[in-house]
A and B are shown apart, each in its own frame.
Chain A
Amino acid sequence: RIHRHHIVGTAFIMAASAKDARDLVTAMRSAYAKTPTRLKIIDMYVIYGLVTAVIQVVYMAMVGTFPFNAFLSGVLSCVGTSVLGVCLRMQVNPANKEFTDLPPERAFADFVLCNLVLHLVIMNFLG
């Protein structure tokens, strides 16, 4: 009897959470569809950077870590550009109250400058 209660209970919870998950996904999809195209482009860029980083980590797991500095510079350049992309998105998003008086050109110029420094250091670190 206890077994049956237990199984029914977990099944109920799983069904509930599955329904929750589906609701969540649909809600996120509909909310995301409303974001401006500019931000969607930046999001694509960020996701591309992260996927490239994951691919590099998987490759490292297969062939080993030598030379370590090359691995680090590759992964950190992907993570770095993604992080800078997220920062740019935050500064350019018109829905953020904090950055309403920051012109998007200035935000983009900062983004480009930081990326320049990042990639110069990466090139020095690649070895």
Chain B
Amino acid sequence: MASTGKETANGQSAKAMGPGTTPITAPSAAKAASWESYYSSVKNFKLKTKQQELLIRIAVLVLIYILAFACRLFSVLRYESVIHEFDPYFNYRTTLYLTQKGFYEFWNWFDYESWYPLGRIVGGTLYPGLMVTAAILYWVLRFLSLAVHIKDVCVLTAPFFASNTAMVAYFFGTELRDRGTGLVAAILLAICPGYISRSVAGSYDNEAVAIFALLLTFYLFVKAVNTGSLAWSLGAAFGYFYMVSAWGGYIFIINLLPIYVLVLLVTGRYSLRLYIAYSSVYIIGMLLAMQIRFVGYQHVQSGEHMAAMGVFFLMQVFYLVEYVKKQLGDPKLFKAFLRVTVTLAVGVGALALIVGLATGYISPWTGRFYSLLDPTYAKIHIPIIASVSEHQPTAWSSFMFDFHILSILFPAGLYFCFKNLTDGTIFIIIYGLTSLYFAGVMVRLILVATPAVCLISAIAISATLKNLSVLLREKAPVYTSTKITAKQKASAKTGADQPLPFQKEGAFLLLLGALYMLINFGFHCTWVTSEAYSSPSIVLAARQSNGERVIFDDFREAYFWLQHNTPPDAKVMSWWDYGYQITAMGNRTVIVDNNTWNNTHIATVGRAMASNEDDAYDIMRQLDVDYVLVVFGGVTGYSSDDINKYGNWNLVILLEPCCVTPIV
């Protein structure tokens, strides 16, 4: 019913009409007609298949993005938005300094509040990628007038980059096989516990952005090898630069790429695209990496980076020889040339390497990475590396815990990769196998293996689901006599399998089985995230006998006590585990902290902790100590306190022959 003031579809106002007259029905009828036509067009609105597929894909990706972010927020919801563990507090402190003082001050910062009396050249001994990333996010948000605190930006950096990593996994999976694989890879990587362990909200550590940079570099490199374009190679070089700025694990990239190139050269799958990709990525990537002060000249002086340089020179020789072969028509002439060149090149290369190693110009593999090749090395020679709990060899239960069904799907994925080998699948095979080997050596490196395991398992899942769905959608074959003979002939020739009886039902059952497995995986991942990887180590929770939850905030109370009740220039001695937290929250000078760059200093502190009171007092007077911080877990049953560490590692680190300091 038209009322006064309401306009009809014709634009005529109802006020002009008298009530109950026939002209009223005309505009309302016209309005109803227009509504009907609109409704019918909506009903008949049908997307084309391509558009449907695009809509589904985008919807799935958006949901994956949100899921990857949301499932990492357990500790924020349970406790508060607080930074976890120990190392992230140093990163938070440096990010705070960066946002307050600016990039120039940050890059040239000498910190006199840690490692008293030595101090620490922070600008030259850290990987700035994480801090710069968080600072940029903070400045962007501030520019958009969102008044966020830098602490919240730091806490939520890791989940944000985890979502981005899932997106990169989608593109990588698409590059390796097809879009279905990409989607499965994205969802696997979004919830896989191996990755969640180091990227929960609050875990503000280098790995948060480093895994994103790692996967991005690998994706861009594979894209460069597949397309042979210099633009993608430049992208890969920038990805490598981001990785070098973010984490010491870039060594993995700079050694994996030469191995991949060597495998391709040896198996005869080389092409001009490989040369373009590797050479440009190596040169530009190396130059960019040398801009980070902490890395410095290592790309030309360190033994760990020599594989890349060796393969670079090998590649130049190899492709030069190929070029000559193509120019010359005559194989005999070419053989002679080949002999001369190869012996000359190998000789010169070997000579240069031997001279470099002998004169000590090329430093040998450092202990940190040598212990990956020889797992027993650290225990004998560098106990401080062996003492870190994350550096222990991996038990099989950790693989099951962190990967669940992916550990079974990994070999299946390898089978599918080998079945149709391309440059991309060879890369992911090499990445998967090498990273799994290193994951077996050190628990911490399960994180590096996770993207490879997710991608290869995604290939397995996607290929299986695809095959099963194809079987389900097959129309029942209509048999005529001619068709049977043709089919028999064809199957006799190619050995193709006949359609099995109950094929459709079998495929349906298998699909249900796959669904069951994947649902279980989802439950497992959520349970693991909730139970194991969401504790902020700085706040502990326990259940009393009457079921009430009790929160222990002792760490933070102690640090804030230090901040409020001690003079600003007080020096605090503690075991190095707590150094970062004391400087970040207590804002006092510490003697040793988690950077562990000076083993002698740490051994001195350990000696002070292990001696009787009189000797300890002398050592502490020497170090100018005002306060001692000791963690004692006897009252609450906290099991990893200083007494526990004293029993295991302090003495071992102390008794290294190089670290016994004479007390005058």
Contacts and interface: CB of A to CB of B under 8 A. Distances in A.
A113 B284 CA distance: 12
* Interface residues of chain B: helix, strand, loop or mixed (majority): helix
A42 interface: no
B295 to A, nearest CB: 12
Interface of B: 228-231, 233-234, 237, 271-273, 275-276, 279-280, 283-284, 286-288, 290-291, 297, 300, 324, 327-330, 333, 336-337
Nearest to B277: A87
A85 B643 CA distance: 63
B327 A28 contact: yes
By size class, the interface of chain A is 35 or more
Given A114-B280, A118-B284, A121-B284, A28 B324 contact: yes
A68 interface: yes
12 contacts: A20-B333, A27-B333, A28-B328, A31-B327, A76-B283, A79-B283, A88-B230, A110-B230, A117-B237, A117-B284, A122-B287, A125-B290
A47 interface: no
B376 to A, nearest CB: 36
A113 B231 contact: yes
B286 A76 contact: yes
B328 A27 contact: yes
Contacts of B337: 24
Contacts of B237: 117
A32 B327 CA distance: 7
Chain B CB within 10 A, most for which of A69, A86, A98: A86
A114 B284 contact: yes
A76 B287 contact: yes
B324 A96 contact: no
Given A96-B272, A98-B272, A84 B280 contact: yes
Nearest to B233: A114
B333 A118 contact: no
A88 B231 CA distance: 12
Contacts of A121: 284, 287-288, 291
B330 A27 contact: yes
Contacts of A68: 297
Given A24-B336, A118-B284, A99 B234 contact: no
A10 B272 CA distance: 39
Given A80-B284, A83-B279, A114 B234 contact: yes
B276 A118 contact: no
Given A27-B330, A27-B333, A99-B228, A72 B272 contact: no
Given A91-B228, A113-B230, A117-B234, A125 B287 contact: yes
Contacts of B300: 72
